Amino acid sequence: MIRARVIGAGVAGLCAAWALARAGVEVELVETAAAVGAGCSRYAGGMIAPWCELENAEPLVACLGGEALDFWSRELAVATIAGSLVVAPARETAELTDFARRTKNFCRLDADGIAALEPDLAGRFPRALYFPAEAHLDPRQALSALDARLASLPNVARRFGVNADALPPAPDWTIDCRGFSARGALPGLRGVKGEMLLLRSDDIRLSRPVRLLHPRRPAYIVPRGDGLFMIGATMIENEERARVTARSIVELVNSAFTLHPAFGEAEIVETGSDVRPAFVDNLPRLTLRGRTLFINGLYRHGFLLAPALAARAARIVCDGVDFPELTNAHSGERAFA
């Protein structure tokens, strides 16, 4: 039986451990923190939105991201497929036109269509784009559910509170999923800071993520149930992990307020920040060095891409298959049909 040590219990490591274990590999999952989701994955919005992401991402992201819909909604059954709604204030309709030009798999809604989908947004926006096949999840719930499933598998040992750097080399394979902590080993890996806000309001009901297009403060709002809403996220080119600035909070609150004034009265439940691990082209990469495979560069697409990357990592370990669109270092070589 092949043995693999997976380092890191963020979304990349948990998905990798799952895919390897399901392929019959004996897995040791090692995590420095006392539980899952201590890293960047904790702060994600949890939008599984492959077609919306085409606004700024390469077709590769949408293609791999399509696999995440099935994984999170059917295999793990933690995601809700209720679509995504994209709106813009009346004076910013050019933003909506531009978004439509770059993306696909949506339908256009007028004010009545918006009201039918999200009654609390009635009369607030003249037009919207609706991506019906997209999904959302609560990242912390999803990570815990995946961890519980791993705990039930006989060929998986989970070790929390253990720093992998202090361990002797792994017997067969090492799957390095340390996220931004792997930057010393992966030249070109950088951090893109993201801040988020968790609000509670009993005055607003939303059934799906809503993206607000705005030239200065684009944002998204993801309903988490029980009156909780995640507002995200800033995108700042620095590697400061934990500091949340007053300016960012003002901008996120303003965006929420633009979506619906009732957010002005919402309770601030949590603020959070971490850095998204990203390569220069913002595409993920599988880096193979001997029998160490790094899964990294998930950028703003951790939950969207981890299932597909994990499935391919398992094929590399078990069958020696190559995936040039993910393993070639130079983005110019990573064309994807």
Ligand X SMILES: Cc1cc2nc3c(=O)[nH]c(=O)nc-3n(C[C@H](O)[C@H](O)[C@H](O)COP(=O)(O)OP(=O)(O)OC[C@H]3O[C@@H](n4cnc5c(N)ncnc54)[C@H](O)[C@@H]3O)c2cc1C
Structure tokens at 184: 């010393």
Stretch of 146-154, 197-205, 211-219, 302-310 contacting ligand X, by CB under 6 A = 302-310
Task: Return the bridge partners of 174, or none.
Answer: 5, 292
The H-assigned helical ranges of the chain are: 11-22, 59-70, 93-102, 111-117, 139-151, 246-259, 302-319, 324-327
CA–CA separation, 221 and 202 (whole Å): 15
Stretch of 38-46, 54-62, 99-107, 321-329 contacting ligand X, by CB under 6 A = 38-46
CA–CA separation, 92 and 83 (whole Å): 22
Cβ 42 vs Cβ 139: under 8 Å:
yes
Stretch of 119-127, 199-207, 257-265, 301-309 contacting ligand X, by CB under 6 A = 301-309
Closest approach of ligand X to the CB of residue 290, in Å: 18
Task: Return the bridge partners of 179, or none.
Answer: none
Stretch of 116-124, 248-256, 300-308, 321-329 contacting ligand X, by CB under 6 A = 300-308
**Given 194, 218, 223, 307, the residue binding ligand X (CB under 6 A):** 194
**Which residue's CB is nearer to ligand X, number 10 or number 83?**
10
Site mask for ligand X (CB under 6 A), range 170-189, x = bound: -------xxx-x--------
Of 259, 257, 209, 216, residue with least CA distance to 234:
216
**Which residue's CB is nearer to ligand X, number 47 or number 87?**
47
The answer to whether 11 contacts ligand X (rule: CB under 6 A) is: yes
Give whole-number Cα distances, 12 to 223, 323, 331, in Å: 23, 17, 21
The answer to whether 294 contacts ligand X (rule: CB under 6 A) is: no
Site mask for ligand X (CB under 6 A), range 249-278, x = bound: -------------------------x-xx-
Neighbouring CB atoms inside 10 A of 234's CB total 20
Cβ 177 vs Cβ 4: under 8 Å:
no
Stretch of 3-11, 75-83, 118-126, 242-250 contacting ligand X, by CB under 6 A = 3-11
Q: Which residues bind ligand X (CB under 6 A)?
A: 7-13, 30-33, 38-41, 43-47, 163-165, 177-179, 181, 194, 196, 232-233, 274, 276-277, 298-304
